[in-house]
Amino acid sequence: MKRESPGSEIRINRLEALTDGVFAIAMTILVLSLEVPSRSQVTSQSELVQNIMSKGYQFLSYFISFFVIGSIWISTIRRTHILNKTDYKHLWLNMLNLFFVTTIPFTTSLLGDYGEYEFAEVLFHLDILILETIALVQWQYLMNNKDLIREDAIDDSNLIYYRKVYIFHVIVPLLGIAVSVFTPVWSNLVYLVIFFRVFFIRR
């Protein structure tokens, strides 16, 4: 009787459960970057409105971070969906990915409070850059180990398209780092181009 390899005994649903759980917690904790004003700061409705309106940049940082995490989660789903099985190298790449997902609430909070400083902006972009680079490495690992992929999951035309997508997502935070040198406060707006990816990458 043929003995199964250790990697083939790892259930994909366990990987999915851990991944979804970490993303869900990170996206929930992210809202804590929006601080509710204390009673000592607000004594009237007009002051409350003024206080909330002054947090426009924090809200923008939260919005962008939430959808960047969402984009990374969708990318992760795409890679997990095509799996037939996994192995320990792929699992460790996934764990490395999840580690940097958990740091996004911190870098987002830092960005909201100190967005005028280049360091805070670069740290946020670096966090996203590492995540997108890991995603590209994971994709390439799967392409080099196609025994992990379901035979009916993907065709050759999609292989080229998704490689372009992963490279595009690596370029975006690099662009953010470059922009932060000139205008730190607004450099995170570069992530809005993700919503218009269809205009940059064709199948």
- Token reading at 147: 């025994």
Give the residue ranges of the chain where pLDDT is below 70. Answer: 1-10, 156-157, 198-199, 202-203
* Distance separating alpha carbons of residues 62 and 145, to the nearest angstrom: 37
pLDDT at 203: 67
pLDDT at 99: 96
Does 1 fall in a domain? Answer: no
Does 52 fall in a domain? Answer: yes
Does 99 fall in a domain? Answer: yes
Does 51 fall in a domain? Answer: yes
- Side chain identity, residue 89: K
* Distance separating alpha carbons of residues 180 and 177, to the nearest angstrom: 5
* Distance separating alpha carbons of residues 14 and 49, to the nearest angstrom: 45
Task: Please work out, in degrees rounded to the nearest 5, the angle formed at the alpha carbon of residue 96 by the alpha carbons of 29 and 167.
Answer: 95
pLDDT at 157: 61
* Distance separating alpha carbons of residues 43 and 112, to the nearest angstrom: 24
- Token reading at 115: 């967005």
Does 65 fall in a domain? Answer: yes
The answer to whether the CB of 201 falls within 8 A of the CB of 162 is no
Range of the domain at 112: 6-199
Does 193 fall in a domain? Answer: yes
- Give me the number of domains the chain comprises: 1
DSSP 149: B
Does 125 fall in a domain? Answer: yes
pLDDT at 51: 82
pLDDT at 7: 42
pLDDT at 58: 86
* Distance separating alpha carbons of residues 44 and 50, to the nearest angstrom: 10
